[in-house]
Amino acid sequence: MISDRERLTNLVPRTLLRVAIWCLCLIVIGWAVFYFAQFIATLRIVVLPVAIALLLTALLFPVTRRLKAIGVRPIYATWITMLVAFGVLGGTGWFIGLRANDEFPGLVDQVRATSKTVEQWLYTGPLHLQPNQLTSWIDEITAQVTAQRNQITQTVLTGATVAFEVLASIVLLMFVTFFLLKDGDRIWGWFLKGFGSAAPRVDRAGRTAWVTLSHYVQGTVAVAAVHGVIMGIVLAGMGVPLWAPLAVMIFLASFIPIVGIFFAGGVATLVTLGAKGPIYALIFLGILIVEQQLENHVLQPLIVGRALSFHPLAIILVLAVGGILAGIAGAAVAVPVAAVIYRAIPELMADPP
């Protein structure tokens, strides 16, 4: 008597049947991931602040832990940590604003002088452009900007809504960071109670994920600080205006792997070009490329590589997915989220020791 399973096997080759089963599993998984991503995108005003709060908690928690270790009560340790963080941010913002206020008028004058030099070179240099050609290009650009005026106005109006969302996200971020620093262990213990007999596995995976996240955040901050300080010294040594804001921008952009440095480096190069001319801009670009290579091949493997061990292609794909789902903020948190998942899943699936 031939069973139904044997008949199906005779009709369909075993290899094709396995491929079909795998395809069905992938379709179900893809469907679940798609709707989960849509759900996360809908709640981005909540999800992104919580994700950034976790990163900030991983960065600030060593300070709170040391304060608790010397006998400071958790509430006081948390407030001291938060006040120190606000003090650092406020001092940095005050210094940047002071430097920008002093140097911006000089930057405008230097850009005007450089523009006149470049314009003269276009007329007398190897291109031998005619004044009417350059004027026609400028008029065309002006016409394009005027044609897009309605779209620009709509973008400005939309910016008011975005500003409100950003403000609400910042408030939520601060609250989540405060309570994670103060009651993180109690929150984690409460969370584990919902998993019953699987709590030891979840606890082991969560602790591994937290160690990975802490190493990533602290290592990335260290690498970004080195990058920002070196580029700030180079810009200041060249006499480029607004070197302090540019250094801070390079520091912040370093948190977005690969993509961030292209943006920040491009802005810094353009400012150097406008303020000091093409020679200084080329010198700065060369130093930026060399320093970036040293960072990628020396600092990143030594400091961050142990926590991630990601291939550059994997980082690019993760950045692309994060950017598509949540823009710049999604790209900033995509790599640590992927690293946490990559480290936590094996611990979650492994047998208890």
- Higher-confidence residue: 98 or 200? 200
DSSP state of 310: -
Confidence grade of residue 208 (pLDDT, cut at 50, 70, 90): confident
- Which pLDDT value is given to residue 59? 87
Q: Give the residue-averaged pLDDT of 328-343.
A: 78
8 Å CB contact between 184 and 57 = yes
> Which tens digits make up the pLDDT trace of 296-326?
666 666 666 665 666 667 777 777 777 777 6
- Higher-confidence residue: 86 or 38? 86
> Which tens digits make up the pLDDT trace of 245-300?
888 888 888 777 666 777 888 888 888 877 777 788 888 888 888 887 777 666 66
Confidence grade of residue 195 (pLDDT, cut at 50, 70, 90): confident
CB burial of 47-81 (b: ≥16 within 10 Å; e: otherwise) equals bbbebbbbbbbbbbbebbeebbeeebebeebbbeb
Residue 190 has pLDDT above 80, yes or no: yes
Residue 336 has pLDDT above 50, yes or no: yes
- Which pLDDT value is given to residue 311? 67
Q: Give the residue-averaged pLDDT of 48-55.
A: 84
Q: Give the residue-averaged pLDDT of 121-136.
A: 60
Tokens of 19: 């491929």
How crowded is the C-beta side of 216, counted as CA atoms within 13 Å?
27
Residue 140 has pLDDT above 60, yes or no: yes
Report how far residue 347's alpha carbon sits from residue 61's, in angstroms, rounded to the nearest whole number.
23
Confidence grade of residue 1 (pLDDT, cut at 50, 70, 90): very low
> Which tens digits make up the pLDDT trace of 150-183?
554 555 445 556 667 778 888 888 888 999 888 8
- Which pLDDT value is given to residue 152? 47
- Which pLDDT value is given to residue 157? 47
- Which pLDDT value is given to residue 38? 77
> Which tens digits make up the pLDDT trace of 92-112?
778 777 766 766 666 566 666
8 Å CB contact between 84 and 98 = no
Percent of the chain having pLDDT more than 90? 1
Helix (H, G, I), strand (E, B) or coil at 13: coil
Q: Give the residue-averaged pLDDT of 33-37.
A: 78
Q: Give the residue-averaged pLDDT of 22-45.
A: 81
- CA angle, residues 85, 89, 93, in degrees to nearest 5: 170
Residue 149 has pLDDT above 60, yes or no: no
Report how far residue 236's alpha carbon sits from residue 248's, in angstroms, rounded to the nearest whole number.
13
Question: What pTM did the predictor assign?
Answer: 0.69
Report how far residue 307's alpha carbon sits from residue 222's, in angstroms, rounded to the nearest whole number.
14
Report how far residue 129's alpha carbon sits from residue 124's, in angstroms, rounded to the nearest whole number.
8
- Higher-confidence residue: 41 or 263? 263
Q: Give the residue-averaged pLDDT of 32-43.
A: 76
Report how far residue 231's alpha carbon sits from residue 225's, in angstroms, rounded to the nearest whole number.
10
Tokens of 151: 């779209």
Q: Give the residue-averaged pLDDT of 207-224.
A: 84
- Phi, then psi, of 49 in degrees rounded to 5: -60, -40
- Higher-confidence residue: 111 or 332? 332
Q: Residues near 76 by Cβ (< 8 Å), separated by ≥ 6?
A: 67
